[in-house]
Amino acid sequence: MSDAARGIVSKNLVQRVLSAAVLAPVVLLATWYGGAPFALIILLIAVLAFLEWSAMTRGRGGGERALWLAFGALYVVLPTAALIVLRGSDPAGWVGIAFIFAVVWATDTAAYFGGRSIGGPKLWPRVSPGKTWSGAITGFLAGIAAGVLVSRLGEGTSVAAAAGVAALLSVAAQLGDLLESAVKRRFAVKDSGSVIPGHGGVLDRIDSLYGAAVMAWLLALAGLSGHLFRSVGGSG
């Protein structure tokens, strides 16, 4: 890597860290409090995400654009509903959301650094040339570890159950990331937007979260989430 490339990577990393330092505490505080503040933040993110999706898919014919907008609405509504329902009104509901956040953030971070430091075969070069199998595996393992640690904040979920749920959420998070990458590739867009320094758009930041949120909701509905998501009745 050239000195210029290293400088760009370093600047991007600093922007990522600063953005996370500002945004993460706000989101976590709202998660802990629950209720209207949490719902409003999740809904605001959804609105921004859909606006970015709409801008990304602009320029297509009437029929095709309508299909992309319909898909975009589904893409945003499902995880938004999942997060609000999973948080619920139970004071302990924040643990489940914190679990999702921990798995997603650990997966994303470890995949980023693991892929850059280890390198190796590409995961899906036609869709996302920068992603590697080493990064995917590193992120997967980190996601499980983070999920298990956060699950200890709650009660009633075994380490094995937490690890199993975290593993599925980590896979779903990475698939969510790849899905958005595929859409960006389809429309020749590098970033979904530029609202978050170092991360691009809102969609670039929450694509993994959206994938994991839907998976968490499905597991909760199936009763396979231990006691992580009490508001949905998961007690497996």
Alpha carbon distance 52, 66 (integer Å): 15
pLDDT value at position 16? 63
3-class secondary-structure state, position 50: helix
Mean pLDDT of the chain: 88
3-class secondary-structure state, position 164: helix
Alpha carbon distance 53, 172 (integer Å): 20
pLDDT value at position 200? 72
Query: Tell me: the pLDDT tens digits for 97-154?
Result: 999 999 999 999 999 999 989 989 999 898 888 899 999 999 999 999 999 999 999 8
CA triple 166-26-150, angle to 5 deg: 25
Hey, how many other C-beta atoms are within 10 angstroms of the C-beta on 34? 20
Selected residue with higher pLDDT from 41 and 12: 41
The torsion defined by the Cα of 55, 61, 66 and 72, in degrees rounded to 10, comes to -40
Alpha carbon distance 16, 20 (integer Å): 6
**Phi, psi at 131, each rounded to 5°:** -85, 140
Alpha carbon distance 212, 52 (integer Å): 20
